[in-house]
Amino acid sequence: MDKERICIDTSILIDYYRKKDKSKTLFVNLSIKYLLSISVITKLELLVGVAKNQKDFWNNIFQKIDIIPLNETEVEIASEIIRYLTKQNKIIGLKDILIGSTALAKGLKLSTLNKKDFERIEGLELIIA
């Protein structure tokens, strides 16, 4: 049986990086059950904060997971999310909106440690630890 593909956000990868016992991280547990993907925005968030001594670590991760580019569909979905959340006075960060729109555009569930923000995106199915 093929594994289901899901999208993971930046918080899952940062948790994996920070934890000494990597075997107990959500990233490892998810990788056993699912095929993992990230939005190119997640890659951007990680690269912006990376120190020189971390580059090899992150490049190794990026080689092991599918990186989903942004295209017009994701941007159009993101604009709808922004309009909706602005009207509800529940706006979240643009990067989170773009990560969420990527998952929605590809029909993927999103795993995150940031439930508070992502649960505001209508129709986005979350996988929470």
Task: For residue range 40-54, list pLDDT tens digits in order.
Answer: 999 999 999 888 899
- CA distance linking residue 23 with residue 20, whole number of Å: 9
Say if residue 109's pLDDT is above 80.
yes
Instruction: For residue 39, give the DSSP letter.
Output: E
Q: How far apart are the C-alpha atoms of 112 and 102, rounded to whole Å?
A: 14
Cα gap 101→63, rounded to integer Å = 23
Q: In angstroms, what is the C-alpha Rg of the chain? A: 15
The whole model's pTM is what?
A: 0.94
pLDDT at 1: 67
Hey, what domains does the chain have and what are their CATH numbers? 4-127 (3.40.50.1010)
Residue 94, pLDDT above cutoff 90:
yes
